[in-house]
Structure 1
């Protein structure tokens, strides 16, 4: 269908709620008004009682393609994403082979053009040796440079001070960092392994990957960014201590920004006894006081963006002993419903959720014509029902890995419809896998 008219929706956009109609034509929002019933369209949707949000822009996912597709792939995980109200994503470079050069990056774009249900972009990974590739990035096509500062695997670990200095000095686009200090983590792991005789319980995860390991690395990143005037975005903060590195205020005035992920806003170390390795992730889920400090930082604008860090693994991998189990959680299908549950709990307002998960990623990454409900913008839209419960269970997920850390939860909102560039890709029950709808993200840089 070339045109859709959404009537009587409660639109949540740019800090306000109002009942209105939205006309979509040729993939864009053509008109927004209080009385568009007279407009003609191929399809008319009466959205009375529903809320209309911009599609969530997730700036941090791991879709595992190429090389790790037994865990997930672009097709399966983007389908789960649109079912969860995520219409655009930015995918990470730690695949096999890692995305460290332009050829590998172009191959990922080509795969997504054939397989993705949601809009997409990809990070170029930084290494100790690829500064020339970073300097050659096309800023209008690539979302960012991902730097694993002190904690990663293989040649994605950037631990050479001279290489870090060049990256922060010369990157033509935003630098997104994973901040943990591997030497401190290794020392903690050795000490705790001796204490437990090698049988380390998962409850030790936030003590191995502890507050100081995070702060040491993130403070280094912030210092480098200040030294070079870099555009720095620190991913997935987990500690109250790190918040002192950032400033509150309007995002457009910042060159150093911070992000929180949905699982760190939901879980705390009190959940390890029940969830076990299902919530093992890097950086670790930490204390209840850390979680509550992150929530307050979202409300006070110390934290600018909410994302997922979606990172699926098979349950057979997760069910290994703690020290062998991989870190990472599948999250895209339930990230927005979880945030809406926090709305029901009084933690965040709807306006705050839209600001942090939709508007601010678009602003921070300078995404062209997305992230807002505005005339002339891409029709990336989500209709949600705030008053219909859903029971979350492993058996109902769309992830290739087949499980969710939210199994057993009951959320008081659900996604009714998702539109990507004006095309319905989720109808509330089924994903309509129309890969022609998705587009590569463009950036106004």
Structure 2
């Protein structure tokens, strides 16, 4: 069988951050760099390749990862031939800012309001360092600093600290990171025994995907194979506005918690509404063997979990299988949510002016039918659930004309005038190459 069709994952060539589970809790740093000198850019890639290779092949067990990715303009700055650049996905070549209107990044979330230089041609290289504690993170960050030290043709243009709490909760108070798909050949079993592992080609390029075909791959093969596309987005969360919205529409504290759970599809502990429809079950929420072990078909009308809830929109599971028109597995993706900024103290209803939110990271082989499809068809629209005027109540581009329906007997409940709770501060489409590809990039002689 030709190498391009071999189904076994070449794990030693795949960057650790692409498939590895993150430690919990953890701290991290994101760095964005601009390349002004091609030779220095290639030297940076050579040094980063050495670090990544050492990390991948060593016996380290400290869960520290250093992941490197490049924008289209970054690959261009490194001197990748135009024929190779043209072989990347069109969405990657255009960049996220150019596709803002498609993604619903309008108004306050439009690129004109993004943090500089996010979404611009100055974003070339992204480095993510994640570690279980500050000391080990600093060691990883120092490696990254040494990699670009004394290279005048490089400039750090943006940085962001991030973290995950021991509770795993984001600024909205909900436990995050539940329900990741398992990837065939990765050695990690699915947390949902009802959901088989995804074909490797859904996440890593160079392998058959769920259709049985090879996804389009950048050429030459050494550049594309074992790489993955990465979506990077900084999302500011309006936590005080969210809390006030619930407080104003709830009859008491218990009702407030229930409304929040109905909007998200889970209780704050992570317990899914399908398994705990009436009250939170923290023990269930904290149990990785049970908190993702469910489907939606038996709750077709959404009396337990509304069909428009955030978690159900993002992954409808089996609820769209009935007529065979949608294969949800073609839209699954690895999603990482990382908090930044200080948490708003519990119970506080006034905005303190601090910037807080989520660094959203997606990894997959198909930008358009994975991230962009889910964002535009499931989160930003309600046609697929029979409610074309409704958007995702938590992360959708709501404009206070939006609503959210909660099925219940005898009369459904309708929340009106949903404001936007999440604002896009910037982002970029990136490509995380395999280790062999990084060596190829460092040795370019164009």
By relative contact order (CA 8 Å, sep 6+), the higher-ranking structure is 2
Shared fold (TM-score greater than 0.5)? no
Q: TM-score, normalised by structure 2?
A: 0.25
Q: TM-score, normalised by structure 1?
A: 0.25
